[in-house]
Structure 1
Amino acid sequence: MAEIRLNSLSSDWLTQSRIDAEYKQYVVLAYLQGVNQRFADNRLCPDLPDLQRHYEATLRFRAGKGTLMAAFPKRVAGIGGPPPQITYAPEHTDDPLLTEVDEIVDFALPRFQTTLTDGRQRWAELARTLTLEPVGLMPLHPEEGYLLVHYSTTADLSVYQYRLTLYDQAAPGGRLVHWQFRERLRRGLGTTFERLKLDLIRRYDLPNPAAFRLESRRVISEEETLLPIAQELLNQAVKA
């Protein structure tokens, strides 16, 4: 089971509770400290997609505030030149509260981006340690089947049933994948993956499933890292 995150960041963190730059900076740093610790342990989800959402939402806030300020009426502040040029000044001055929020946003955005970049790099590095290959013949509709997860250093396997569902641009690979854990087993020296697939067909309720084996050269968290990356790889394999 995934660890309960004690320092997650709520979607309305920027306006929640009191708006104080020093306090909010502490909130951001505490959140990112936890995220960085989990990234260092190669536990990427759900922190990586959550951080992406926080980063994008904060960017939208900054852009939205700029659009709002541009819409306020302006007064002529002076005429300069050459060439003659009229300068304008806004009639509306920033509320101290909005100035405080600006300071918080300016503090948070580059730190979100740095941690997000680190998480993406770790994702890419771990993806390169995985090998996804089909087992046996692929059916005409490979959107449902089994994923056989095994590691280079052990004979243990994890068996998951998968089903590709709706398209979602935010999902790794572009489509959501529903996972159902089936069992853990130990593969003997003479046991092929094709034989394991036939055994799964006999024991479960998928008469003509697709099957893929996913080999990992490193032992990493399945729920928090391996399966999210496998979702991306599986989407690519099914599209091909």
Structure 2
Amino acid sequence: MINLNPTWFIEGYVDFELQKYRLLAYLQEINKYFNQNKLYPQLSDVIFHYNNLLAFRNNKKFLQEQFPKRISQIDLQRLEIIYEEMLQDNELMQELELITSFALEELKHTIDSGVQIYEFIEQQIAIEPVGILPLYKNEGYVLLHYQGVTEVKVYVYHITLFEHQAARYKGIRMEYVDSWSKSRFTTYESLKKEIIHTHRMLPNPAVYLVKSRMQVPFQETLLPIAKRMLMRTLSESDSIA
């Protein structure tokens, strides 16, 4: 996959045609993945570049607060110096405006395409509890299953809490545990019992089933969507401590 640095549009010689070529090559590669229903990390990456570029154009510099891991403090200081120099060069700022306007439009179009694919695939995926849920649901198991396929992948999930600049955020971590074979005579409830009996790390876990009617790529699409659907389900039930 072709990667873009956070500062791609001001790297090297600031020229509209040059940066246009660089961006279109990147988006062409992204769309190849989208055409294969491979959404992540490509969709997140395009959204990052869109928000980052929009913030820069709006004279908010870069989204250091929102994306501290993507932009280092050294890069941020360097960019602030470059930005101040650019403000003194009208011709350069006009060229940069052409680049940012074109890039934002192209990035937005690609994001819309990815979101449309995401929403269509999400409609083909259902999430539901397996058996009775305990009161504490911040950790448990997720069964990931393609309809018509015997294999059921089992993941353990943990809700995580972290702080950044006095704000608290919730995330979810999922780790692969095992794979089980399901026949038409096997119920998800019986699989749940086998999993709890075999893996005793959680005595009374919450167990959810994520079932897809579409054969979409697992790592790039089903697993990331499953994480988001599970997080939403847990949030809606007001069960996250």
What TM-score, normalized by structure 2, do the two folds share?
0.79
The equivalent residue for 2:119 is: 124
1:106-121 residue pairs with structure 2 within 5 A?
A: 106-121=101-116
Given the alignment, which residue of 207, 221, 225 partners 2:221? Answer: 225
Given the alignment, which residue of 19, 22, 27 partners 1:27? Answer: 22
Return the offset for 1:188: 2.3
* Alpha-carbon spacing, 1:220–1:238, altered in 2? closer, same or farther (3 Å): same
What is the SS of the residue equivalent to 2:52?
A: helix
| Greater Cα shift, 222-231 or 94-103 | 94-103
Return the offset for 1:194: 1.2
* Alpha-carbon spacing, 1:15–1:93, altered in 2? closer, same or farther (3 Å): closer
Whole-Å Cα distance in 2 between the matches of residues 166 and 125 of structure 1? 30
1:18-167 residue pairs with structure 2 within 5 A?
A: 18-64=13-59, 94-166=89-161
The equivalent residue for 2:191 is: 196
Whole-Å Cα distance in 1 between the matches of residues 208 and 27 of structure 2? 35
Return the offset for 1:42: 0.8
Question: What letter corresponds to residue 49 of structure 1 in structure 2?
Answer: S
Structure 2, unmatched stretches of 5+, are 62-86, 164-168
What TM-score, normalized by structure 1, do the two folds share?
0.80
Whole-Å Cα distance in 1 between the matches of residues 39 and 116 of structure 2? 11
| Greater Cα shift, 196-205 or 117-126 | 196-205
Q: What is the percentage of aligned positions where both structures have the same residue?
A: 35
Question: What letter corresponds to residue 112 of structure 2 in structure 1?
Answer: T
Whole-Å Cα distance in 2 between the matches of residues 134 and 166 of structure 1? 23
* Alpha-carbon spacing, 1:65–1:167, altered in 2? closer, same or farther (3 Å): closer
Return the offset for 1:112: 0.4
What is the SS of the residue equivalent to 2:207?
A: strand
Summarize deviations over 1:145-190 as a string: whole Å, max 9, x none. 111111112122111111121379xxxxx84211111122211232
Whole-Å Cα distance in 2 between the matches of residues 202 and 209 of structure 1? 11
Return the offset for 1:198: 1.4
Whole-Å Cα distance in 2 between the matches of residues 10 and 230 of structure 1? 29
Whole-Å Cα distance in 2 between the matches of residues 101 and 119 of structure 1? 26
Q: What is the aligned-residue RMSD (CA, Å)?
A: 2.1
Question: What letter corresponds to residue 17 of structure 1 in structure 2?
Answer: G
Considering only CA atoms, is the larger Rg found in Structure 1 or Structure 2? 1
What is the SS of the residue equivalent to 1:64?
A: coil
Given the alignment, which residue of 157, 163, 175 partners 1:180? Answer: 175
What is the SS of the residue equivalent to 2:37?
A: coil
Whole-Å Cα distance in 1 between the matches of residues 14 and 161 of structure 2? 39
Summarize deviations over 1:61-104 as a string: whole Å, max 9, x none. 111189xxxxxxxxxxxxxxxxxxxxxxxxx9753222221111
The equivalent residue for 1:78 is: none
Question: Paired residues, what number?
Answer: 206
Structure 1, unmatched stretches of 5+, are 67-91, 169-173
